[in-house]
Amino acid sequence: MFVRSLHTSDFRNLREVAYTPHPRVNVIFGDNGQGKTNLIESIFLLATQRSFRRSKLDDLVRFGCEKAEVIARICHGEVERRLAVQILTRPSRKIALCDGKSARSSDYFQGVHVVLFAPEDLLLPKGSPEERRRFLDRAIWNTCPSYLDEVRTYEQVLKSRNAVLKSMLAASGMRRRPSFGSDGELATVEHSEDSESLLSVYSEQLAVAGGRIIARRRHYLQTIAPQVEATFDRISRSGLRASLEYRPKVIGRDIEVASPSELQSILYEQLERDRKRDRIRGFTHSGPHGDDMVIGLDGRDAALHASQGQVRALVLALKITEIQHLFCLHGDPPVLLLDDVSSELDAQRNGYLFDFLRAMPSQVFITTTSPEHVKLDQDRLDVRMNHGGLWSDAVAS
Ligand SMILES: Nc1ncnc2c1ncn2[C@@H]1O[C@H](COP(=O)(O)OP(=O)(O)O)[C@@H](O)[C@H]1O
Ligand SMILES: [Mg+2]
């Protein structure tokens, strides 16, 4: 896939930007605070209908305006489509259009694959489990568009189940603290049959939806782990071994080898075992919403034992593997969005990254304050970002 043209209006500080990128390497340079990341964010929004920043929809609209719009012509293979995302503030909502018409997610996202590499990613091993889950889900979604619906279904059922648990907690008057019996066991409270049977229905639905997610996450990590190990070895040349380990928040036998339907049974059994505690806590304890993955170095958790340089090399290996995996899977290179990453890497790792980018036939967008540090000389277009406006005063080659 590549972006043939991009137009933004009132998207953050990008008032009116009309941009015809190069099909290969695009360097967006300028001082800090000019709008470089905003441009990357606009492409990401178009490709995912989400921001990668923790922003509300309204934050994307230029201060004082009521509507932001990002429009792009996207090519994959022989197909060219016009994708548009509009954000409106009154009331707050998002409209996604494909060739001027509203489209189902599966049609809109067909063939649209972007991989973002931002400085925040470099904190992944040491960040929160939520960030690692987000990384994992985004990577899986790029391999399988229906995954988004699967995650949404899970989240909806989880919300419903938690609402029942919360109302049971409120009804039992145990909102403030759990009570314990004389034997130290959590006390049992009588609940209405309706709530109990509703809980059973949601447990079953949650087990079905959750089992699918566990299977996908497990499969993805098992698939990419050997490649991450090999890539890390080439980047670091340290002889240390990188590893990826899935840590699902469900205790069961043989999680690593269980079939998808067995995973559903394992999760269901866990939900049933947790039922009493869940009622007392007022939320669902077990399930993929609590999953994690451990990025390891020589058998130890990199979050606790790796140096900053090693952590960066691990994340670089993870990102490169994600991109290569997508290319192999779809036969079409994803668009790469690199937001000021080079400044965070040392010379040797930058060298590796640029060698990789030279070899990968992707369209690349790289933001930087120093374009001379981007060591890619051919098939490249530099543009300057200044106060939310794009200037193509540099040499195109
Ligand atoms: N909704 C918005 N409306 C107008 N300006 C915004 C909005 N959101 C962010 N900005 C501005 O965008 C600028 C930061 O842009 P950014 O892309 O992060 O800069 P950089 O070039 O350093 O990557 C800041 O000046 C900020 O005030
Ligand atoms: Mg920036």
| 258 and 129 housed in the same domain | yes
The rounded distance, in Å, linking the Cα atoms of 348 and 112 is 32
| 178 and 236 housed in the same domain | yes
| 337 and 325 housed in the same domain | no
- Closest ligand 1 atom to 59 CA: 1
- Closest ligand 1 atom to 39 CA: 17
What is the residue range of 198's domain? Answer: 123-330
- The structure tokens listed for 259 are 């079939």
The rounded distance, in Å, linking the Cα atoms of 143 and 55 is 25
| 289 and 324 housed in the same domain | yes
Q: Report the pLDDT value the prediction gives residue 392, as an integer from 0 to 100.
A: 85
Q: Report the pLDDT value the prediction gives residue 181, as an integer from 0 to 100.
A: 52
- Ligand closest to the CA atom of residue 87: 1
Q: Report the pLDDT value the prediction gives residue 397, as an integer from 0 to 100.
A: 36
DSSP string, 67-129: EEEEEEEEEETTEEEEEEEEEEETTEEEEEEETTEE--HHHHTTT--EEEE-GGGGGGGGS-H
| 288 and 360 housed in the same domain | no
The rounded distance, in Å, linking the Cα atoms of 357 and 376 is 8
- The structure tokens listed for 59 are 């934050």
CA 84 to chain centre: 21
DSSP string, 241-297: -EEEEEE-S---TTTTT--HHHHHHHHHHHHHHHHHHHHHHTS--SSGGG-EEEEEE
Q: Report the pLDDT value the prediction gives residue 376, as an integer from 0 to 100.
A: 93
Contact 62, 13 (CB under 8 A): yes
Q: 8 CB less than 6 Å from ligand 1?
A: no
Counting Cα atoms < 13 Å in the Cβ hemisphere of 135 gives 25
| 216 and 188 housed in the same domain | yes
| 147 and 283 housed in the same domain | yes
| 188 and 309 housed in the same domain | yes
Q: Which of 330, 347, 377 is the last residue of a domain?
A: 330
The rounded distance, in Å, linking the Cα atoms of 250 and 269 is 10
The rounded distance, in Å, linking the Cα atoms of 179 and 205 is 29
Q: Report the pLDDT value the prediction gives residue 179, as an integer from 0 to 100.
A: 54
Residue 239 Ramachandran class (φ > 0 left, ψ -120 to 50 alpha, else beta): left
Kindly report, residue by residue over 208-225, the tens digit of the pLDDT: 999 999 999 999 999 999
Q: 38 CB less than 6 Å from ligand 1?
A: yes
CATH of the domain at 368: 3.40.50.300
Contact 221, 246 (CB under 8 A): yes
> In the chain, how many domains are there?
2
Q: 368 CB less than 6 Å from ligand 1?
A: no
Contact 9, 121 (CB under 8 A): no
| 158 and 49 housed in the same domain | no
Q: Which of 274, 295, 330 is the last residue of a domain?
A: 330
Q: Report the pLDDT value the prediction gives residue 395, as an integer from 0 to 100.
A: 43
Q: Which of 280, 306, 330 is the last residue of a domain?
A: 330
Ligand 2 centre and the CA of 392: distance in Å? Answer: 19
Q: Report the pLDDT value the prediction gives residue 393, as an integer from 0 to 100.
A: 65
- Supply the pTM of this predicted model: 0.91
| 199 and 109 housed in the same domain | no
Ligand 2 centre and the CA of 36: distance in Å? Answer: 5
Q: Is residue 118 part of a domain?
A: no
The rounded distance, in Å, linking the Cα atoms of 354 and 62 is 34
Q: Which protein residue has the closest C-alpha to ligand 1 atom 16?
A: 35
| 17 and 85 housed in the same domain | yes
Q: Which protein residue has the closest C-alpha to ligand 1 atom 11?
A: 13
Q: Is residue 305 part of a domain?
A: yes
Q: Which residues of the chain have pLDDT under 50?
A: 175, 187-189, 394-397
| 251 and 154 housed in the same domain | yes
Q: In what order do the strands lie in the sheet with 242-247?
A: 242-247, 292-297, 300-301
What length is written for the chain? 397
Which DSSP state fits 12? T
- The structure tokens listed for 110 are 């067909």
Ligand 2 centre and the CA of 16: distance in Å? Answer: 19
Contact 312, 345 (CB under 8 A): yes
